[in-house]
Amino acid sequence: MANVVVVGTQWGDEGKGKIVDLLTRYADYIVRFQGGNNAGHTLVVDGKKFVFHLIPSGILYENKQCFIGNGVVLDPGVLLEEMEKLGAGGRPVTPARLTISERAHLIMPYHKLLDAGSEAAKKKGAKIGTTGRGIGPCYGDKVLRCGIKAGDLLDDDLFREKLRNNIEEKNRILTGHYQVDAVSFEKIYAQFQVYREKLAPYIDNISVKLDEGRRAGKHILFEGAQGTQLDIDHGTYPFVTSSNVVAGNACTGSGFGPAYIDSVIGILKAYTTRVGEGPFPSELFDETGDALQKKGGEFGATTGRKRRCGWLDAVVARDAVRLNSITGLAITKLDVLSGHKKLQIATSYEADGRTYGAMPGNIRTAQKLQPVYEEIPGWEEDITSVRSVDDLPRQARDYVKRIEDLTATPVMLLSVGPDRVETLLLKNPFLKN
């Protein structure tokens, strides 16, 4: 039995979906523990592309059980659309394969309107770059103790009461502050009755189910969304997501005891990207950055927005190792660096005459950071056909070794292409090897 957490180490988009998909073959349960449909996991299986926003990536394996944890904020319409697409493709999603936590909060139509209104009202330079999917306002209601949970759908009187109270309050804000049309109780209630009929068989207490699985010796894989620098507490606040992205939330966001976690795998892209606003010390504004963006296909899986690209940031990687207790790294998109004669790694920052070995908490300082680079040789060879570390160019092996040295963390997986078969598994966290 082993329980493994997979997290992003940068600003998201590191390729977690692919690594989770690979590790899923060794797991029994796969658990999504935070975030909402503001993040996407892209997988390429047998040349076919799959994009998931809510359903755990492990759903592509027929004999696995998937769970959506209480730390997730759930848009029922998006979830049902994903389920329908999978079913149409010959991969039906049944209650035996997917369980939704009764404690997961629901994204309501008014959350999306509040999200859009808040972002539109911000001045230039203060905009967060939100996806507008209602994630923040939903988490806000959760903290304010007025949110509507998935389990509330099963109690019609409770759901009606919560919905009516929320709509009264939200309409005052929507019509008064943002000057947009009020939302209709009757319309939303009718819409969510349809959702209830379809989703009721999937809703349960997943904390109990996960503990039963643990006691039965099941291998459990926990997958997060986004990346460490987008964590609401430990990221580049306020240019962050609205949930805790770090590995500690795998337990809080699923109801699983922290003493039972065995290892944490950090997904590290071989270079660095970021979507949206906020500090990005190693960002490149030249043709090298453009080349990384083009070759890496750097567009957001959820928004389609072009990702900002830069050299690998070892400061960000070390922060992630510390904050997540990362026991092993999975390096993705190593193949994208092929063709660069020289590579650079940011090993520290400088700002206002001071050197920083970690991302500072002051956002104004973070926005002024200048990276201090270490230059190492690159390689020309295409490595997408490589299936053994020994067959990698020496410079590529040296690059991987330097990452291990800078982070004091071993590399357990290497991805040299987008397909399942283009990943080298050096050490399996589910096996004693």
Average pLDDT, the chain: 94
The pTM score is 0.93
* CA distance linking residue 241 with residue 298, whole number of Å: 19
Question: Does the pLDDT value for residue 272 go beyond 70?
Answer: yes
Q: Identify whether the C-beta of residue 380 lies closer than 8 Å to the C-beta of residue 338.
A: yes
Question: Does the pLDDT value for residue 125 go beyond 70?
Answer: no
How confident is the model over 274-329, as pLDDT tens digits? 998 999 999 999 999 999 999 999 987 666 778 999 999 999 999 999 999 999 99
Q: Identify whether the C-beta of residue 70 lies closer than 8 Å to the C-beta of residue 280.
A: no
Which residues are known catalytic residues?
13, 41
How confident is the model over 182-237, as pLDDT tens digits? 999 999 999 999 999 999 999 999 999 999 999 999 999 999 999 999 999 999 99
- Give pLDDT, residue 419: 86
- My answer on whether omega of the bond before 201 falls inside 30° of 0, hence cis, is no
* CA distance linking residue 331 with residue 269, whole number of Å: 6
- Give pLDDT, residue 127: 61
* CA distance linking residue 330 with residue 334, whole number of Å: 10
Mean pLDDT of 162-167: 98
Cα 6 to Cα 9, 204, 215, 324, 327, distances in angstroms: 10, 24, 21, 10, 10
Question: Does the pLDDT value for residue 433 go beyond 60?
Answer: no
* CA distance linking residue 72 with residue 53, whole number of Å: 11
* CA distance linking residue 288 with residue 387, whole number of Å: 27
* CA distance linking residue 284 with residue 289, whole number of Å: 5
Mean pLDDT of 46-73: 88
Sequence-distant (6+) residues with CB within 8 A of 131 are 38, 302, 303
Q: What is the DSSP string of 384-424?
A: TT--SGGGS-HHHHHHHHHHHHHHT--EEEEE-SSBGGGEE
Percentage with pLDDT > 90 across the chain: 84
What is the band of 52 on the pLDDT scale with cuts at 50, 70, 90? Answer: confident
